[in-house]
Amino acid sequence: MRVGEDVDLVWRLAAAGWTIRYEPEAHVAHEHRVRLREWFNRRMDYGTSAAPLARRHPGTLPAVSMSGWSAAAWGLAAIGRPVLGVALTAAVTARLARRLEPLTGSPAPLAAKLAGAGTLRAGRLLGVTLARGWWPVALPAALKYRRLRPAVAAGILIPPLLDWYERRPGLDPVRYTAAGLLDDAAYAIGVWRGCLRERTAAPLLPRLWWRSPADSPGGPAPGPGAGTGIPGTGPQPPTTR
């Protein structure tokens, strides 16, 4: 592998039963690419590692990993059916409350907190995934179908703005968001190139589970390095912003 070979090595060692431990005892610096073209090309290179890693380590690099019920609720909202999305979330909350009843005396508030917070987090994850992997499909769809435009715009813009609010970097929110979206665009181009080259769509497909937290507190068992999203929302091979 030309890119991502370090991730591949660590995951292969973990799969073979080795214990991987990170000890930040050494400080190593290298020159970053600061010219726009060189930087953009490097970000694309990083993205190309997702597909070969997904082939070598099946199940470790989904586009996004989340509750299918949360994804369905946001999907309904995206197509202009927010009331149905809220109703679905309410139904899941009620089901969760019934399952939590033997464990707590007040299951409704806890269920509402778990389901509500989970749905909000899922929305942010979907937005990140939209910008970092799905935009080559989402943007043309939004241009063709007007009802999708608000959802696509919100999904792409809100996560970096929230990120700016939480981090409060030196850049203003407009430049910070623009830089982040350019980063995402470059990385996504690399992901799609890698998928075409490897003939796999694994890094572009979501992993959804349909059990409630009461059924499976930890969610599905992840593979080595598995996380929450397309390179960027979950396991990010060799890339940091």
Query: What is the per-residue pLDDT across 140-178, written as a single tens digit (0 to 9) for each?
Result: 999 999 999 999 999 999 999 999 999 999 899 999 999
Close Cβ partners of 187 (under 8 Å, ≥ 6 residues apart)? 43, 44, 46, 47, 132, 231, 232, 239
Question: Would you state the pLDDT for residue 161?
Answer: 95
The pTM of this model reads 0.79
Other C-beta atoms lying within 10 Å of the C-beta of residue 6: 12
235: confidence class by pLDDT, cuts 50, 70, 90: very low
For residues 54-68, give the mean pLDDT: 91
% of the chain beyond a pLDDT of 70: 88
Query: Phi, psi (5° rounding) for residue 19?
Result: -95, 125
- At residue 214, what is the residue type? A
Question: Would you state the pLDDT for residue 32?
Answer: 76
102: confidence class by pLDDT, cuts 50, 70, 90: confident
CA distance 97 to 100: 5
Close Cβ partners of 143 (under 8 Å, ≥ 6 residues apart)? none
Among candidates 202, 78, 184, 72, which has minimal Cα distance to 128?
184
For residues 202-222, give the mean pLDDT: 67
Question: Would you state the pLDDT for residue 215?
Answer: 54
Answer with the residue of higher pLDDT: 187 or 241: 187
Among candidates 3, 62, 61, 34, which has minimal Cα distance to 179?
34
218: confidence class by pLDDT, cuts 50, 70, 90: very low
Helix axis angle for 135-144 and 149-167, nearest 10°, is 130
Strands of the chain, DSSP E: 65-67, 207-209
240: confidence class by pLDDT, cuts 50, 70, 90: very low
52-56, 133-137, 151-155, 210-214: least confidently modelled range = 210-214
Question: Which two structure tokens, joined as six digits, stand for 54?
Answer: 């997904």
Answer with the residue of higher pLDDT: 34 or 84: 84
CB 156 within 8 A of CB 131: yes
In this model, does residue 236 exceed pLDDT 70? no
Close Cβ partners of 190 (under 8 Å, ≥ 6 residues apart)? 43, 44, 45, 46, 47, 48, 49, 50
Question: Would you state the pLDDT for residue 83?
Answer: 94
